[in-house]
Structure 1
């Protein structure tokens, strides 16, 4: 009978944790997709959602830690069951149309408020489940380690991420997804409440000798402040790398729906591997992989320099032919991120405390993750005009790897030490050169083949990304000098600086383009009204005539400022030009 009850509790704990983790990470793509069009479709929407999820995770872990400290298990049960009931009352999670923004101002705060009001309490309950159930498991089974349940929770999280784009998203519309999630949450609530009731019925140890023995054991295994610092900065670094690589891959390399799931899945996979079995993490192996990954990514940045070196050396091979492909770029950055996460989470597991300190351990880990999210989402846009968090994270990965490698090298023989030192020196040199080259490419560069000088004369960063105005000058063809507007690496507009050519439509708006041919056809009779989604530099205003009206819908206020400050398409157009801030679809519905 006792064995049967033990088995039921263990299965109940596993199912509850698995279900809570699945719901926790299933709601993230569901709610993110619901609000993505409302805020311009930028990758910053996902980054802000991640910030919310990480902060709520901290709140949930703090609640789990506080609740587990209560001496009365009956009180624990009553508080948690009551919270589950209140969370269930707030369902469903589908946001109302009233949360749609009317303009592009304060998007971060609006997203955080929307998420708090729509999924805040259910997400809070789900986030507290993992550490709370593990604490209950430790009470029910004093001699067993509860940490493998954390690996189980990450399996549930990974399952949610992988199944969403391939199973749920193609088969169900968003309202149905929200309704289904709410129904499953009710099932989870029932499982969790049943588990809480079972824990509340457990008897406490009352033997004074056993209590004294337990207290002495806890004192001897108490984590130090150094341990706690590691619990903070390691997950913070992994979080920064996750978000920085996600931004780079999804915005600077290629824009593909649900591509952000790949880095997050690898991030969770590192948790699964490290927490399931410590022997799967090999410090020396992953430290060298981290070092080599940084060196390889640095080589990709220097691919054209490597091409020139190979050509001068007589080799008929273009490194950029493989290093410049989208697949290679994405795969290399994802590998670098995964290896760093393995380093951070592997070293974290090596420092995990006894089960009695489990909830405080998870609390500090979540605080570290949220700190990384806050740094990328809120601090970096205020401090930097470009995505400097990625080179900072890569630098930290290089230093972390080298520190572990050096610790492993010291016992080696002198020849091995010298070889490793030379390899490390070469890798560091490649990394430093790549970062200098990237900086020069973003600030000032010279195209030796086409004899073009490029200089960034303005850079702005906000919620929607990084904008740069680049001046191109040509020594032999000064009439082709121009100003370009870039969003990340995407060209958003060109204007010649020569006064005679300033109002010529350029780039994909030139007179022979699809838009140009359409303008020639329809702008022949009387005045017309033209509505344009996206401003760019206002190139289409060059087609305007006296009496025409051109309305540009633009969600990013910095685009309008740069278009007016550095380009003249809007100011010199004969037509009446108006820039309307906000999402075009929403503004059209209002009008």
Structure 2
């Protein structure tokens, strides 16, 4: 088969109409299924490895690699006749259908430190065949559509493809997850896959009379001139694809670190990323041009708010990051669309695009976590975006004023210097005055003016973006990195804050995970602090252990932190400490924090997922378990399902106590624990502790659960406890859980 037919050749009567509606329907269906399955399989995987944000980023890397494979397959079978392409693709879809319904592959648990490779392998084995088959839909369907001489421009079908993808993403957290258990989700997805198979068969039938691909001419008058695609153009396609892809994942990390690794938050950046393609590749160019015009100002202002908000969780910084991603991705994809080739090279174009997306994902999901000690990939990608954004409108406006080149150059240099000092001064004002509203308003106006000015030249815009990022937080973050008091693992970024008096604080993202106060003679105090004071639920429960279980009780702590709870140990007790992240364990072993070293030197410290460890623990092993496993400020959802609770109860003795820390800014978890207690046949109480802040103690909320009412009555006699609310919803399970009813919306403001 050749890739072109003569312009005057007409197909036979069987294929006399382009049938655009059928191709749009098929491409929408395939894309909807493709992006519905992404959060679905990631949700299935949570019980395997918890809720770290990188689980989703690792999943996205696999999806991008499979998408690249699908686009490569679509490109290479393009050498066949249309009929053979159709038959081959139908066979591939049918073979992939043999792996349905969707389920997680049975593989050995991840060894500590190897999660970054284990998670992609799990996703590849679980969803690889069907994702690969469906991912080839977009380029293949567009190529088949373009094969008809009357078809017209095929590229807007890519906008329809991404609209379907966006719909699939939004449908999962808003409809599928809240309404359907995972098993039923998988069955419905399999049904949709069979519908897609039928649509592809209809497409093959619709093009049975078309002998070859579309003529190698421009699809519209706006298309790029017909020319040989050189390596410079291919490198541009790669860059314009890689930067938005990387930004999407780095924005995802920011959003999910301090709230929860949940599909509702996973899909926001990815959904906007896909929507950007729909605008950038639309046949009407008006909206895309507006995004291109706004992008330089949005990039500079959004970058400033994001870097300034790092370490200070809040809605404004989150919104700024999301808006930046959407506008900048649309502008970069619009430039990508303007550089597109003629339809004869369509599958090659999409193959390079997919490779660029995979490279951006590789940088953010794999390279950055092992290379950087902080999320440096986010500002790096912002500067890269500044180097690629279309700036023609601003340069053209400036060039209307005939000014000497040296004058323009020196004026821009002075503006950059002024911006650096202004940013540093603003940062100092924020530290001393608590970010006054008037200062923020003035700063934003200044940023808008600065962006409009420096955008007249590429070098000054890139330098201006880097300057703003450096002044409003980049220099400060570099100083922390240079001090050696920060580390990064698959599970997050940890910072140790050392005060002059010897007090040390561990931050995970923006959440305090423990403080060790200064003691006498330069020694660090072993007194409890933060959420673990004597009047906290955990403190009161641990103090009651000798009376309830004797001197030789066995205590288990799920989630180490800085080890504060270790100093509640009493003589004769056996302690076992569980921690998923080896980086956290090192802080207690290298002397950074001394609670474990001084109070439980003989404790058994086990590195691994607490739930998996509990599943392997013999029955009746513990008298008391403390569940305090957090990922920044988010609760790993897989630790609060009925199946997980069953593991904890089995590991406890008949009178054993489970103590759960549910302190959280964004989720009201009391109803969740109430439902779990009822399902497990346990009784429960909750304690809201408001201690003395000046003593280094924080407010906390703890729940105690036990199967023995007498044990609960003993605890109730020791302090003020309350009954949990009557559950109004079913308990969370591995198959069904939704946090939407439990969000504390006012705390997002």
Q: Same fold judged by TM-score > 0.5? A: yes
- The question of whether the paired residues in 2 share the 8 Å contact of 1:467 and 1:486 is answered with yes
C-alpha offsets along residues 261-304 of structure 1, whole Å, 9 cap, x if unaligned? 11111111110011112523555763443334423541565589
Deviates more, 1:456-465 or 1:487-496: 456-465
Match of residue 509, structure 2, among 465, 469, 488: 488
Structure-1 residue corresponding to 2:609 = 583
Counterparts of 1:283-432 in structure 2, within 5 Å, are 286-298=292-304, 301-302=307-308, 326-401=314-389, 403-404=391-392, 407-414=395-402, 423-424=450-451, 432=467
C-alpha offsets along residues 453-482 of structure 1, whole Å, 9 cap, x if unaligned? x99543222211112222122xxxx3xx31
- The question of whether the paired residues in 1 share the 8 Å contact of 2:78 and 2:85 is answered with yes
C-alpha offsets along residues 210-255 of structure 1, whole Å, 9 cap, x if unaligned? 99999xx999444333322221110101111111111112215776
Deviates more, 1:56-65 or 1:246-255: 246-255
* Aligned length in residues: 552
Point out which structure has higher relative CO (alpha carbons under 8 A, 6+ apart): 1
Structure-1 residue corresponding to 2:34 = 24
Separation of aligned partners in 2, 1:141 and 1:430: 47
Structure-2 residue corresponding to 1:309 = none
**SS state at 1:550 partner:** strand
Structure-2 residue corresponding to 1:76 = 85
Shift of the alpha carbon at 1:360?
0.3
C-alpha offsets along residues 338-380 of structure 1, whole Å, 9 cap, x if unaligned? 1210121010011111111100000000000000001111111
Counterparts of 1:104-503 in structure 2, within 5 Å, are 104-142=112-150, 144-204=152-212, 220-251=226-257, 258-281=264-287, 286-298=292-304, 301-302=307-308, 326-401=314-389, 403-404=391-392, 407-414=395-402, 423-424=450-451, 432=467, 434-442=469-477, 457-473=484-500, 478=501, 481-498=502-519, 501-503=524-526
Shift of the alpha carbon at 1:131?
0.2
Match of residue 54, structure 1, among 64, 67, 70: 64
- The question of whether the paired residues in 2 share the 8 Å contact of 1:278 and 1:346 is answered with no
TM-score, normalised on structure 1? 0.85
Separation of aligned partners in 2, 1:527 and 1:135: 73
- Counterparts in 2 of 1:394 and 1:532: CA distance versus 1, 3 Å: same
Match of residue 543, structure 1, among 568, 573, 597: 568
Separation of aligned partners in 2, 1:14 and 1:93: 26
Higher relative helix content: 1
Match of residue 90, structure 1, among 95, 99, 103: 99
Separation of aligned partners in 1, 2:48 and 2:212: 53
Shift of the alpha carbon at 1:36?
2.1
- Counterparts in 2 of 1:178 and 1:64: CA distance versus 1, 3 Å: same
- Counterparts in 2 of 1:352 and 1:494: CA distance versus 1, 3 Å: same
| Cα RMSD, aligned residues only | 3.5
Deviates more, 1:72-81 or 1:240-249: 72-81
Shift of the alpha carbon at 1:43?
0.5
- Counterparts in 2 of 1:103 and 1:502: CA distance versus 1, 3 Å: farther
Match of residue 586, structure 2, among 561, 574, 578: 561
Separation of aligned partners in 2, 1:405 and 1:332: 24
- Counterparts in 2 of 1:455 and 1:360: CA distance versus 1, 3 Å: closer
**SS state at 2:486 partner:** strand
Separation of aligned partners in 1, 2:250 and 2:369: 12
**SS state at 1:146 partner:** coil
- Counterparts in 2 of 1:351 and 1:153: CA distance versus 1, 3 Å: same
C-alpha offsets along residues 129-172 of structure 1, whole Å, 9 cap, x if unaligned? 11001101111245511111111111110111111111111110
